[in-house]
Amino acid sequence: MTRLSVIGFLDINAVIFSSVVFIGDNWLIAPRTRVIAVRRDFPSFFGNEGRFEDYPLFQRDWPRLPVPADVHFVKRDEGVIQVDLVRLTSLSTSAMFQAGSTHTVRSESRVKQFRQLASTNPAAFSHPPAPR
């Protein structure tokens, strides 16, 4: 069955980094973000940085939560999804906004951050961060 999605007013300031805005019904949404972020007082790149394989964080399986067998719900399928007003400041890093239904949503955000600041560790500028 095809449904009509009606949004009276939609105001979104920013949608970034694998985020999704979807109006209507959908079968699968799978945003994914993987980031290695290094903040240094003095910008430099050593050429051998940024390999996701070097960090266990990016190798782990997704956690799977068990679906309870005793979930009860009432579905009213009237053919129209109506939303009067939506104001979003931002969606970032695998977030989603949807007016409609989705069968499956997979969302992932993995961020490994390093801080190499001269005031706390002057030696940090002589070599790249070690894999953890």
CA distances (Å), origin 122, targets 36, 48, 125, 127: 21, 20, 7, 11
> Could you tell me the pTM of the whole model?
0.64
Q: Provide the phi-psi class of 87: left if phi over 0, else alpha when psi is between -120 and 50, else beta.
A: beta
Q: Which pLDDT value is given to residue 116?
A: 78
Rounded Cα gap, residues 74 and 63, in angstroms = 28
Rounded Cα gap, residues 103 and 28, in angstroms = 6
Q: Which pLDDT value is given to residue 5?
A: 87
CA distances (Å), origin 87, targets 21, 94, 107: 12, 18, 22
Give residue-wise pLDDT tens across range 32-81: 899 988 888 877 777 777 889 999 999 998 887 787 788 776 666 678 88
* Residue 130 one-letter amino acid: A
Give residue-wise pLDDT tens across range 88-97: 999 998 899 9
